[in-house]
Every structure is written in C-alpha cells, then in structure tokens.
C-alpha cells in the first residue's frame, strides 16, 4: 500500500543476485507506475524504464529533449509501487562526468536498482535511428568512471551502453565495451546489434553480464527470449512494448467510439473495474482507513 515495503537496497541486492542465475532476466518496460504493478503481478522479476517511453509519454521524440528531473521523477514514481528492481535509462547521463555523477545519485535516491549510461553525443538520439554520433572513447570512459564513483550503494548496477556498432563497426563497439568494463562498468549494453553472430562475438569478448534490447521495429531482427538466452545474454529489455500495446489498443478503441458512439463491443478486451481495484489493492487502503479512524473516544 502506498509504497513498496521492499527497500531500494534490497532491490539492488536482488538484481545482483539474480544476474548470477543461469537463465536470462526479462525486463518489460513500464510506462507508468500502474504498468509496473502489472509487470510484477504477471510474475516478472524486474522492470525497465526507457528514456524513449518517458519522452513519448511527454509527447516528445526520443532525441534528448527530456531532462534529468523528469527522468528522476518518473523513476521514483515507478520504483515506489513495486518490489521489483528497476533498471533506468539515463541516456548520456545528461552531460559529462560531473553531470553523470549527479544523475546517478538522483536516480539512486529515486529508488533505481540499476542505471545505464551511453556513449552518444549529448543530446542523444534513439538507438535505432540513423544519424547517431558517439563521443570520444576517453570521454565515454569518464562517464562510466563518474557513474561508478558517484554511487553510494555499491550494489547499484552500472550498465555502460555503446552505440558504436552503428557509427563505426562491431570491432569498435567491442573495444569500447572492454574499455568501459576497465572503467568499472558492471554490465554492457551493446545497442542495435544485427544478428546472432554479433552477440556471439560480444559474449566471447566481454566477461561481465550483457544486456540485449528486444525492441520492436528496430535495426536488428526481432529477438525471442529463448534465443538470446542460448547466446549467453544475461538481461533483455522490452522497452516500449507495453506502451505500443496500450497505444495500439487505445487507437483502435477511439476508432470504434468515433464510428459507433459506444464501446460495448470492446468491454471484453478492457481491464475491468474489479481487476483494476485488485491491482491497486483497494482492500488494503480500506483496511488501513478503518484501522486508523474506526475508534471510540475515551473519557
């Protein structure tokens, strides 16, 4: 009720321990607190908060227009309602080394269990758009090192993302990943790899956990969890999937409403009032309210 009873420190430890398991960790992308609650209800072990989702929810393209305060606020809102570890997309860290340090501490305070920072120029672009640029590897290393130095909880997972596969080559992306591990990164996120062979090359070269992006309509082939697990990937995000599903359903529903003036034909596809109330745990609020206010006066 109100907030998760699981502390941020416990969530961070849980994420660390879960990465030691043999099978891949699946992180669906929450687009708001309610969707994060549904992710937990459906039995997933962690959730993800995408910068692209935050931007889209604000009516903005994913081209570096969101601010640190907006990302920190949404992170806090999502983290508070679930016991799941939350991995947060921090884009470029919203600046260079000192900005990255502040970003890490604000997101740590917001309850994040892990944060990923990328090597694109600031402002960045969506990882599956053309025209990306990456900073010099030395600057990118400074971002990673700053993130590692800034965390107060050593269990906060620092993930370094590289977009160099698209801007240069697979070999350049692997070289950068090695450099980021040397700078202290706990895990590597190679964005927009094209096929299984490229994941195999990364797995061979990089000994820390790897994160894959299974976003729809991207540069590479669509990935199934089982296939990535077979390739030795440790984590996979589905960053925008729930938002796409929800917006697709909303658009179709609006079409029906516009055409027919009512929505009864879609009732079976909606979350019912009782299902929503169960997800929100209305009963616990009623119980709390009764326990607090249902008392008699004494003389």
Q: Looking at residue 289, what DSSP letter applies? A: H
Does 268 qualify as catalytic in the annotation? no
User: Catalytic: which of 16, 213, 234, 244?
Assistant: 213
User: Catalytic: which of 16, 116, 141, 165?
Assistant: 116
Does 89 qualify as catalytic in the annotation? yes
Does 126 qualify as catalytic in the annotation? yes
Does 213 qualify as catalytic in the annotation? yes
Does 62 qualify as catalytic in the annotation? yes
Does 291 qualify as catalytic in the annotation? no
Distance in angstroms (rounded) separating the CA atoms of residues 222 and 213: 9
User: Catalytic: which of 74, 126, 163, 234?
Assistant: 126
Residues in contact with 251: Cβ distance below 8 Å, sequence separation at least 6, in sequence order: none
Mapped onto helix, strand or coil, the DSSP state of residue 44 is coil
Does 116 qualify as catalytic in the annotation? yes
User: Catalytic: which of 12, 16, 40, 48?
Assistant: 48
Look at the block and give the residue holding tokens 């309602």.
81
User: Catalytic: which of 40, 62, 119, 234?
Assistant: 62
Distance in angstroms (rounded) separating the CA atoms of residues 244 and 247: 5
Mapped onto helix, strand or coil, the DSSP state of residue 250 is helix
**Residue/partner pairs of 280-284 with CB below 8 Å, 24 or more apart:** 280/34, 280/37, 281/1, 284/1
**Burial class of residue 286 in the structure, from the number of CB atoms within 10 Å of its CB (0-12 exposed, 13-18 middle, 19+ buried):** exposed
User: Catalytic: which of 12, 16, 40, 89?
Assistant: 89
Q: Comparing C-alpha atoms, which of 94, 113, 105 is closest to residue 27?
A: 113
User: Catalytic: which of 40, 91, 198, 234?
Assistant: 91
Q: How crowded is residue 20: how many other Cβ atoms within 10 Å of its Cβ?
A: 8
Distance in angstroms (rounded) separating the CA atoms of residues 134 and 178: 16
Distance in angstroms (rounded) separating the CA atoms of residues 144 and 132: 19
User: Catalytic: which of 108, 191, 198, 234?
Assistant: 191
Does 229 qualify as catalytic in the annotation? no
Q: Which residues are catalytic?
A: 48, 62, 89, 91, 116, 118, 126, 161, 191, 213
């Amino acid at each position: 009720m109100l907030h998760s009873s699981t502390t941020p420190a416990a969530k961070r430890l849980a994420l660390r321990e879960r990465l030691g398991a043999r099978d891949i960790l699946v992180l669906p992308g929450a687009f708001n607190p309610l969707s994060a609650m549904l992710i937990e209800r459906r039995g997933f072990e962690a959730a993800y908060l995408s910068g692209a989702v935050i931007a889209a929810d604000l009516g903005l393209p994913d081209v570096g227009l969101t601010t640190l305060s907006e990302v920190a606020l949404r992170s806090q809102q999502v983290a508070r309602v679930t016991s799941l570890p939350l991995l947060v997309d921090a884009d470029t860290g919203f600046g260079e080394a000192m900005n990255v340090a502040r970003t890490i501490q604000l997101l740590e305070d917001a309850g994040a269990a892990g944060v990923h920072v990328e090597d694109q120029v600031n402002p960045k672009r969506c990882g599956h758009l053309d025209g990306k640029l990456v900073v010099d590897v030395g600057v990118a290393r400074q971002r990673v090192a700053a993130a590692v130095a800034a965390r107060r909880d050593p269990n906060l997972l620092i993930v370094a993302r590289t977009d160099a596969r698209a801007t240069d080559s697979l070999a350049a992306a692997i070289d950068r990943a090695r450099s980021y591990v040397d700078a202290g990164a706990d895990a590597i996120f190679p964005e927009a790899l094209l096929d299984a062979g490229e994941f195999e090359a990364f797995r061979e070269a990089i000994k820390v956990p790897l994160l894959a992006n299974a976003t729809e309509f991207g540069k590479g082939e669509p990935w199934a969890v089982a296939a990535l697990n077979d390739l030795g990937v440790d984590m996979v995000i589905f960053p925008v999937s729930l938002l796409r599903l929800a917006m697709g359903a909303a658009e179709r529903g609006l079409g029906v409403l516009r055409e027919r003036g009512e929505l009864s034909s879609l009732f079976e596809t909606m979350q019912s009032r009782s299902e929503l109330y169960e997800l929100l745990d209305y009963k616990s609020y009623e119980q709390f309210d009764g326990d607090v206010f249902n008392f008699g006066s004494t003389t």
